[in-house]
Each structure stands twice: as structure tokens, then as C-alpha cells.
Structure 1
Amino acid sequence: MKDVYITRISKFLPNNPISNDEMEGILGQINGKPSRAKRVVLRNNGIKQRYYAINSQGKITHSNAELTQEAIAKLFDDSFTENSMELLCCGTSSPDQLLPSHAAMVHGLLANKNMEINSAAGICCAGMSSLKFGFLSVKSGNSNNAVCTGSERSSTRIQANMFNEEAVSLSSLEEQPIVAFKKEFLRWMLSDGAGAMLLENKKNETGISLKIDWMEAYSYAHELETCMYSGGEKLDDGSIKPWTEYNSKQWLEESIFSVKQDVKILEKHIIDKGVESLELVLKKHDKDSADIDYFLPHLSSNFFAEKLKNKIKERGLQIPESSWFTNLDRVGNVGSASIYLMLEELMYSGRLKKGDKIMLSVPESGRFSYAYAHLTVH
């Protein structure tokens, strides 16, 4: 087995940062009315700015594949070119189309050479699944290097025009033309961007590298119902009725393709299962939580930060509070790309020294999955 090092990390955040006051002007107002939920959601999530692949005139500027290609391009120089790549792994929850795969579309934009590709589906954990495929490939000797990505283009799914048909339908039924909170909640949570990592079986000759010591993932779908979903509707028994079982008229009138979240289930389970899985991974690798120098938890909202810290302490784990690192307030919740954006910022911050231990922690509320990685600075 080979050692695997993250030798480069890059990011691409489209257009100018968008403040909280600017959001609704770009995304639009559902039924022409200001959102009732916006202020409450923004107050709780702590996000001050985010990025959209939409300009101030409402024009789409980048596809998800283009965001990803832009991030990957920043990995290249004279010593590692696009033709040096042996494996491309791409994770996202918002591919531009159902078929072909996201990785195939990114590879098409790279237009470099014949190579192996892999697409990881899911929500926030998709970026970690992409990273793990690359990690295992390099570790096993299947490839000498891998480029792994996490990317999202959520903005086009949360524009007002995606919900207006539903509002009109509700009005015709003489109901309040207010889209359910489970759908509108995420309009004020999600943002766009992409991150890319270069994995190699040798460390950098100069500067630091991040050795991937191990990666683990856990799913609780066997015991918990769906919480975050798109392309279907949740029924009273907790099951999901897929979009293929609705007619095309219903797709619009019921906003079937909008991203929805059952916030009651989210709050009930996301922290408890997160700490439970953290305990499992630390025990499996005989890791003392007090030895973590940098803890990078992907947080969808700062609302959960204190709850997570308190639960960790309650369970007797000793992760130093000074080790916590996040950039949620500055880049927003970019789903599968968030962990890439956090690690990129930390790697080039000048703060890391050789021997430092880094723990990556990524939860996903789809049906409650958790992914972890342990890194050592070399």
C-alpha cells in the first residue's frame, strides 16, 4: 500500500460575494412578495456572504461542470499539467443533468486525454466519497495521482421562478400562496462553488503536504427516515414518492424538484448521530480526541455549532475548542464543496506546522450519513 498525500488544493467561487441584503434581489421574490422566513433563517445560520453562479442581472454565468473545471484548472502548472492526471473523481448533489454523469461532463470540459473517471452522488458527503475513491485508488497503486472535487450550483434551484407555479396553484385553490417552510428554508442556506484536491503517492518536495491517514463513513439510513431530498415528495408514512410517479404538471405545481428539508427531524438527529459516529471512528482508530490540532466540521448553519460543541463535551470527548476551524460565514454552505473550501483556506493560511493532526468531519442530513478523514501535516 502506498502513502497518499494531498499536495495541492484549489477553489473557485463565482462572481462577487453576495451579502444577506442582496440575496432576494438576485434569487427573486416568490409570488412577488418578500420572504417571511429569510430573516429568521439568516439570523440562525450566521452566514454573512455567499457566492452564486448568477450575476446581478439574474443571468446564469457558470454550470456546475464549469465551476468544477475552473477549480481543477488552478491545480495545474508546469510540473503537473492536465495531461498528468490519471484519475478524476467528482462529487456533487447538484449535477447539471440526470445523465451523463457529472465527472463525464467535467472531463469533457478539461478536454485533456483518455482517463478513468468516477462520479459520487449524495449530498454533502458526496465530496468526501469522491475524495475516498481517489484516496483508495492511489493507496492501492491503481493510480499514481487523482484529482478529487466537490462542487455545487444550488442557486438555480432556489430562484423564485422555480416556485412561482406552485404559488399560483395555491392561489387558485384559495389557499395562502406561501411555499412550505421545508422548501423555502434552504433558499437562504445554500450557495455555489467548487474545490479540488490533488492526491499523489509522494509528498511535495517543498512546502507542506497533508498525508491522509485514514477515511471512514457511516450511514444511519437503516434506522432513520429521509430528511433532505429533491426530485420527490415525502409521504405521511415517511417514504419518498419519486418524481417519476408524478405527471409533468405536478412537477411544477408542487415544486417536486425543489430541495426540501424536514427541519424537525434534522434537529432531532443530526447532532446525536454525528457525535455517535465520531465516537465510533475515534475508537476504531484508537485516536485520542485531545490530540486533534485542527477540527474542521462542515456546518450547514452556525445554529448547530454550540449544540455540537456541547454534545461533544457531554460525551466526554476532549476536542479543544481552539482547534475548531470553519469559514461558513465567509463562503456560505456549499454542500459537498464546503470541506474542500475549509481545508484549502487552512492549508494556505500559514498556520500549519509539520506533525499537526487534522480531522475532517462532514455530516449529511439526506438520510443521516457522516464522513471523516484524519490528516497529518508533512
Structure 2
Amino acid sequence: MKDVYITKIAKFLPNEPVDNDQMEERLGLLNGRPSRAKSIVLRSNQIKTRYYAIDKNGEITHNNAQLTEQAVRNLCNDQFTLNDIQLLSCGTSSPDQLLPSHAAMVHGLLKNGNLEINSASGVCCSGMNALKFGYLAVKSQQVDNAVCTGSERSSSRMGTNIFEEEIATLKQLEANPILAFEKDFLRWMLSDGAGAVLLENQPKGAVSLKIEWMEGYSYAFEMETCMYAGGEKLADGSLKPWSDYPADQWGKQSLFAVKQDVKLLDEFILQKAVDSLKQAYAKHGISPKEIDYYLPHISSNYFKQGFYDEMKNEGVEMPWDKWFLNLEKVGNIGAASIYVMLEELVDSGRLKKGDRILLFVPESARFSYTYAYLTVH
């Protein structure tokens, strides 16, 4: 088995930052009126700016594959070119189409010769799952290097056009139709962007991050669905997929919009997070004392204090001075968030040899959690 190092990190955030006052200009008004949920959600998540693959005129500037392509290109230079990549592993929750896979579409844009590709599906954990595939491939000497990515183009699922038909249908039933909170909620949470890392079997450059281990935990065996798209949640907690609905209902019920069971999220996301964290600590014999930088992907600052308190109550308190977050500046980019966060930490110049970093990514879809423990070389 080979050691595996993150030797380069890059990101691509499309267009200029969009502040809270500009959001509805980009995403569009529903039923011609401002959202009631917007101010509530923004006050809770405390996001100040985010990025959309939409210009000031409302025109789409990039699809997901193009965002990912740009992040990979930003990773490469004269010392490591596109043609040097041996494995491309891509994670996203918002691929541009059902088929072909996201990684295949990115590879098609890169046009960098024959190589192995892997696509990881899911929500936020898909970026970490893509990383783990590359990590295991390099570690087991299947390849000498791998490029892994996380990306999202969530704006394509939040625009007015996604909900127009449902709003029109609701107008037939009531005078002042309002989109259900579980759909409107996520319009003010999500952002677009992509991140990429280069994995190699030896350290290079000024800062290399050795991946000591990665772990993943799923609670789907005991938890019903919380975040979903492409279906509708029924009264018994099960999901009815879009393919079981007549085509004329896809738009009327906004079946392809991203939705979230907010009550379920609030009740269980932190509880299961700390349970999985304690399992990872126990398995690898570490505690918060063996961590210098803690990078948690949190979807909203609403959860920040609660997460801290839950860890403290369970005896695994993480001191605030170890936390590193950038949610306020870049928003919640789903599968790309942890890549963009790590890129900013490395670029900050703070890291020194021997520092230890814990990456933590939760996924509320059906409550999954992934971890990576890194050391600076």
C-alpha cells in the first residue's frame, strides 16, 4: 500500500459574488412577489454572499460539467498537465442529465486522452465519496495519481421556471398561492461552484496533505428520507419516484425541485453527526486534542452552536479556535463545499508541518456522514 497525499487543490466559483439583496434578481420571483421564507432562512443561515452560474441578465453561464472542468483546469499547470491525469473521480448531487454520468461529461470536456473515470452520486457526501475512490485507487497502486472533484449547479433547480407550473396549478385552488416551505427553504441555502484535488503517492511542493484515513457512516437503516429531489415524500415517510408519476404531474408538483423535511433535519442531524464522530474517534484512537483544524461542512450557521453544544454534551467538545469555516462568503455548495473550504485553508498560509486536519461532511438526504483525517507534510 502506498501513502496518499493531496498535492494540489483548486476551485472554480462562477461569476461575481451575489449578495442577499440580489438573490431574487438571479433566481426570479415566484408568483411575482418576494418570498416569505427568504428573510427567515437568511437570518438563520447567516450567508452573506454566494455564487450562481447565472449572469445579471438571468442567462445560464455554465452547466455542472463546465464548472467541474474549470476547477480541474485550474489544478493543472506545466508540471502536471491534463494529459498526466490517470483517474478522474467526480461527485455531485446535481448532474446535468440522468445519463451519461457526470464524470463522463467532464472527461468529454477535458479531452485529455483515455483514462479511468468514476461518478459518485448522493448529496454533500458525494464529493467525499469521489475523494475516497481516488484515495483507495492510489493507495492500492492501481494508479499513481487521481483527480477528485466535488461540484454543484444548484441554481438550475431553484429558478422560477422550476416552480411556475406548480404555482399556476395552485392558483386554480386558492387566491394567494404560496410555495410550500420545504421547497422555498432551499432556494436561499444553496450555491454553485466546484473544487478539485490532485492525489499522488508522494508529497510535492510547499504543502502536501497526507490522507491518514477516511470513514463513512449511514443511518438510512433507521431514518426516513429528509432531503430529496425527483420524487415526492408520502405520509408514511416513503418516497414515490418521479418515474411512477404521469409526465403531466412532473411540473405541477415540482417533482425535480430539491426539497427538505425541515422538522426531521432539526431533530436528528446533529444527534447522528456526533454519534458518527464518536465512532470515528474510537476506531482511530484520536480525540479533539489530536486535531489542529476542524473543517465541518455545515449547511447553515443555524446549526453551528447546536453542533458545538451536542459535542460538548457527549464529551467530544471541539474548541472554537480550531474551527475553520467559509460558509458566509461562498454559501452552501453541497459536494464542493469541503473542497473549497480546504483550498482556502491551504491558501491562507496558516498550515505548518505536523498540523492535523479533520474534514467532516454531513448529508441530510437520509443521514450520512463522512470524515477524512489529514496531516501536513
Q: Which residue does the alignment assign to 2:180?
A: 180
Q: Which residue does the alignment assign to 1:333?
A: 332
1:63 matched to 2:99? The reply is no
Displacement of 1:75:
1.1
1:304 matched to 2:299? The reply is no
Q: Which residue does the alignment assign to 1:244?
A: 243
Specify the SS of the correspondent of 2:211.
Answer: strand
CA deviations 1:13-44 (Å, max 9, x no partner) are 00000000000011110111110000000000
Q: Which residue does the alignment assign to 1:77?
A: 77
Q: Which amino acid in the other structure matches residue 12 of structure 1?
A: F
In 1, are the aligned partners of 2:190 and 2:333 still within 8 Å (CA)?
yes
Displacement of 1:166:
0.5
In 1, are the aligned partners of 2:308 and 2:317 still within 8 Å (CA)?
no
In 2, are the aligned partners of 1:157 and 1:259 still within 8 Å (CA)?
yes
Displacement of 1:158:
0.2
Displacement of 1:365:
0.2
What is the distance in 2 between the residues matched to 1:255 and 1:181? Answer: 13
What is the distance in 1 between the residues matched to 2:374 and 2:175? Answer: 53
CA deviations 1:210-259 (Å, max 9, x no partner) are 00000000000000000000000000000000000111111011100000
What is the distance in 1 between the residues matched to 2:84 and 2:156? Answer: 33
In 2, are the aligned partners of 1:326 and 1:342 still within 8 Å (CA)?
yes
What is the distance in 1 between the residues matched to 2:110 and 2:213? Answer: 29
Q: Which amino acid in the other structure matches residue 166 of structure 1?
A: E
Q: Which amino acid in the other structure matches residue 150 of structure 2?
A: G
1:9 matched to 2:9? The reply is yes
What is the distance in 2 between the residues matched to 1:192 and 1:288? Answer: 34
Q: Which residue does the alignment assign to 1:200?
A: 200
Q: Which residue does the alignment assign to 2:316?
A: 317
In 2, are the aligned partners of 1:290 and 1:317 still within 8 Å (CA)?
no
Q: Which residue does the alignment assign to 2:277?
A: 278
CA deviations 1:40-62 (Å, max 9, x no partner) are 00000010000000001000000
What is the distance in 2 between the residues matched to 1:264 and 1:357? Answer: 35
Q: Which residue does the alignment assign to 1:219?
A: 218
What is the distance in 2 between the residues matched to 1:46 and 1:306? Answer: 13
In 2, are the aligned partners of 1:227 and 1:265 still within 8 Å (CA)?
yes
Q: Where does structure 1 differ by over 3 angstroms across 4 or more consecutive aligned residues?
A: none
Q: Which residue does the alignment assign to 1:122?
A: 122
Q: Which residue does the alignment assign to 2:294?
A: 295
Q: Which residue does the alignment assign to 2:359?
A: 360
What is the distance in 2 between the residues matched to 1:175 and 1:286? Answer: 60
What is the distance in 2 between the residues matched to 1:364 and 1:53? Answer: 23
What is the distance in 1 between the residues matched to 2:174 and 2:345? Answer: 52
Q: Which amino acid in the other structure matches residue 38 of structure 1?
A: K
What is the distance in 2 between the residues matched to 1:163 and 1:78? Answer: 46
In 2, are the aligned partners of 1:18 and 1:51 still within 8 Å (CA)?
yes
Q: Which amino acid in the other structure matches residue 289 of structure 1?
A: P
In 2, are the aligned partners of 1:290 and 1:320 still within 8 Å (CA)?
no
Pick which of 55-64 and 73-82 moved more: 73-82
Displacement of 1:318:
3.7
Q: Which amino acid in the other structure matches residue 279 of structure 1?
A: K
Specify the SS of the correspondent of 1:74.
Answer: helix
Q: Which residue does the alignment assign to 2:98?
A: 98
Q: Which amino acid in the other structure matches residue 317 of structure 1?
A: V
Give the TM-score normalised by the residue count of structure 1. 0.99
Pick which of 25-34 and 94-103 moved more: 25-34
What is the distance in 2 between the residues matched to 1:160 and 1:166? Answer: 10
Displacement of 1:345:
0.3
Tell me how large the CA RMSD over aligned residues is.
0.7
In 2, are the aligned partners of 1:64 and 1:151 still within 8 Å (CA)?
yes
What is the distance in 2 between the residues matched to 1:174 and 1:268? Answer: 32
What is the distance in 1 between the residues matched to 2:156 and 2:59? Answer: 10
What is the distance in 2 between the residues matched to 1:289 and 1:155? Answer: 36
What is the distance in 2 between the residues matched to 1:321 and 1:54? Answer: 35
Give the TM-score normalised by the residue count of structure 2. 0.99
What is the distance in 1 between the residues matched to 2:307 and 2:200? Answer: 33
* Aligned-residue identity in percent: 63
What is the distance in 1 between the residues matched to 2:173 and 2:46? Answer: 37
Structure 1: 5+ residue stretches without partners: none
In 2, are the aligned partners of 1:92 and 1:151 still within 8 Å (CA)?
yes
Displacement of 1:175:
5.9
What is the distance in 2 between the residues matched to 1:274 and 1:290? Answer: 19
How many residues of Structure 1 are paired with residues of Structure 2 in the alignment?
377
What is the distance in 2 between the residues matched to 1:150 and 1:330? Answer: 18
Specify the SS of the correspondent of 1:274.
Answer: helix
Q: Which residue does the alignment assign to 1:351?
A: 350
Q: Which amino acid in the other structure matches residue 92 of structure 2?
A: T
Q: Which amino acid in the other structure matches residue 127 of structure 1?
A: G
Displacement of 1:78:
1.2
In 2, are the aligned partners of 1:127 and 1:337 still within 8 Å (CA)?
yes
